[in-house]
Structure 1
Amino acid sequence: MNSPTTFEVYIIILAGISITLILAMCIIFMVIFHRQKQLKNKQQVALLQAEYEHTILRVEKEMQEQTLEYIGQELHDNIGQMLSLAKLNLNQGGPEQVFESKKLLTQAIKEVRSLSKALNLSWIEGIGVKDFIEKELEKIEKTGFCQTKLEYDTPLDDLPQDHKLVLARLTQECLNNAIKHAQPSLLKIKIESSQNNTQLEISDDGLGFDTSQASQGMGLHHIESRMKSIGGKAQIDSFPGRGTSIKLILPN
């Protein structure tokens, strides 16, 4: 066999160098692409974290505003009335009136203590979502607006505080929407847990609405985005004349 000529050796060396350069460029490109992808992922994570924190802060603010509104109503309608009655009884000056005044003042003190707890959102840590819902439904029942019903197989005591906060706020929002728009005779809440997820369903037998209409003012987008912020989702079913069902779903 003939030995390779100088030209052939040159061609082989040049081809080897070219292949090496191409491989090096591919490696550099892959490294740059990987770093850009990492940077993009970090930016997306930062944006999601910022959106999550913003959502939680907004929910806390809304919940505090609603709590303060409730406190104002209670001070005016409940505690204020008790104190007025106590004052009237004391002006009478009789033993029976004094005794009744003491009872009213004791009750007013209890009510003030309850309201002071409501001012601090850390109360959500110490209760389950079920307990919170029971109180909300009890307030609706007392107004005589409609009947309410609660079914559950778990009290949701062990959820993280932010999960409790979002579920509590969304439950309030859904109940308020039903009261304002649905004209229901029954508001029903059902909590059930399975191996895959936990569902909190708020339903009514009211007017219902067309979910394809974006102008309903029901805050449906906010419900979905808030559930997404805690890793869950919302499922909304409604039809005119057939009531509304809103499921808040958290994976287990």
Structure 2
Amino acid sequence: MGSSGSEVFYIVLLGFVLMLLMGSFIVTMVIVHRQKQLQNQQKLAAVRAEYEKTIINAEKEIRENTLTHVGRELHDNIGQLLSLAKMNLSSSKPEKVSEGKSMINQIIKEVRGLSKSLNLDWVESITLEDFIQNELGKLESAAFCQTKFTKIGVEGSLEKDKKIILIRTIQECLNNAIKHAKPKSISFYMETKPDQLMICIKDDGVGFDTAQGSSGSGMYNLKSRMNTIGGDFEIKSKPGNGTDIKLSLPISKP
């Protein structure tokens, strides 16, 4: 009887110990799960903060770039047109006055175009193809270098935030070529696949050693920005052999 009672006691004790262990295991798992959830939430918040910071910086840089362009246009283009219009309107010859009035209409159109560029809403209304063509057109009109644009596939729509970052990345790539590459030609190749957008930028400039260039912040910032929107940034260059840049971005299937 005593032996049987001891066995029951040990069985109950063992069951109690097992329950404690099971309870401790469950509590531990809950704590670990909550800690992982908290870590994931913190990581997600950090990613969102970095994404928003990148967008804000890109918007700021686009505005600064636009203001520089507007200032240049006001000084070099519209200022000159106004001077010519003033001269013609002051003339006693009817044909000169008529030419001056025509210039005033042209100036109004130019100013309207510049005013629209100050508002970032143009990002939503313009296609990437049109944007690239406009940027290349500026280089051509300034006689900086020859340009070429090739497009394959039908361009789909992009979210405004992603488009802003992509546009700013393209601008910065062109700015780098203008400042450092001294190219005779710059070419763009844009291909739209069902699940990917790819843009290749190639120049025949002086090139550089990418191993040394990687230590600079410029290339890192471009790569970081593309990573922020889920894209990739690749660059190949050698001294004397120009530079090839590839931007790729996953896109949703239509």
TM-score, normalization: structure 1?
0.95
Name 2:77's counterpart in structure 1. Answer: 78
1:208-246 per-position Cα deviation (integer Å, ceiling 9, x unaligned): 111111477571111111111111111111111111111
Q: Residue 206 of structure 2 aligns to a residue in which SS?
A: coil
Once the 2 structures are TM-superposed, how far is the Cα of residue 122 of structure 1 from its aligned partner?
0.4
Once the 2 structures are TM-superposed, how far is the Cα of residue 157 of structure 1 from its aligned partner?
4.8
- Within 5 Å, which residues of 2 pair with 1:91-170? 91-154=90-153, 156-170=155-169
Name 1:186's counterpart in structure 2. Answer: 185
Aligned AA (2:158):
L
Contact between 1:131 and 1:155, CA under 8 Å: does it hold in 2? no
Task: Give the direction of change, closer, same or farther, for the CA distance of 1:140–1:216 in structure 2 (3 Å limit).
Answer: farther
Name 1:22's counterpart in structure 2. Answer: 21
- Larger deviation, residues 211-220 vs 58-67: 211-220
Once the 2 structures are TM-superposed, how far is the Cα of residue 148 of structure 1 from its aligned partner?
0.4
1:19-43 per-position Cα deviation (integer Å, ceiling 9, x unaligned): 1100110000000100110111111
Aligned AA (1:45):
L
**CA distance, structure 2, for counterparts of residue 225 and residue 104 of structure 1:** 46
Task: Give the direction of change, closer, same or farther, for the CA distance of 1:218–1:242 in structure 2 (3 Å limit).
Answer: farther
Q: Residue 230 of structure 2 aligns to a residue in which SS?
A: coil
Name 2:210's counterpart in structure 1. Answer: 211
- Larger deviation, residues 211-220 vs 12-21: 211-220
Q: Residue 175 of structure 1 aligns to a residue in which SS?
A: helix
Name 2:12's counterpart in structure 1. Answer: 13
**CA distance, structure 1, for counterparts of residue 246 and residue 188 of structure 2:** 10
Contact between 2:235 and 2:245, CA under 8 Å: does it hold in 1? yes
Contact between 2:54 and 2:225, CA under 8 Å: does it hold in 1? yes
Contact between 1:129 and 1:157, CA under 8 Å: does it hold in 2? no
CA RMSD of aligned residues (A): 1.7
Once the 2 structures are TM-superposed, how far is the Cα of residue 251 of structure 1 from its aligned partner?
1.3
Q: Residue 211 of structure 2 aligns to a residue in which SS?
A: coil
Name 1:251's counterpart in structure 2. Answer: 250
**CA distance, structure 1, for counterparts of residue 217 and residue 135 of structure 2:** 19
Task: Give the direction of change, closer, same or farther, for the CA distance of 1:179–1:43 in structure 2 (3 Å limit).
Answer: same
The answer to whether 1:45 aligns with 2:44 is yes
Name 2:241's counterpart in structure 1. Answer: 242
Contact between 1:146 and 1:185, CA under 8 Å: does it hold in 2? yes
Task: Give the direction of change, closer, same or farther, for the CA distance of 1:226–1:117 in structure 2 (3 Å limit).
Answer: same
**CA distance, structure 1, for counterparts of residue 165 and residue 181 of structure 2:** 23
Once the 2 structures are TM-superposed, how far is the Cα of residue 160 of structure 1 from its aligned partner?
1.1
Q: Residue 184 of structure 1 aligns to a residue in which SS?
A: coil
- Within 5 Å, which residues of 2 pair with 1:189-204? 189-204=188-203
Percent of residue pairs bearing the same amino acid type: 50
For structure 1, the 5+ residue unaligned runs are: none
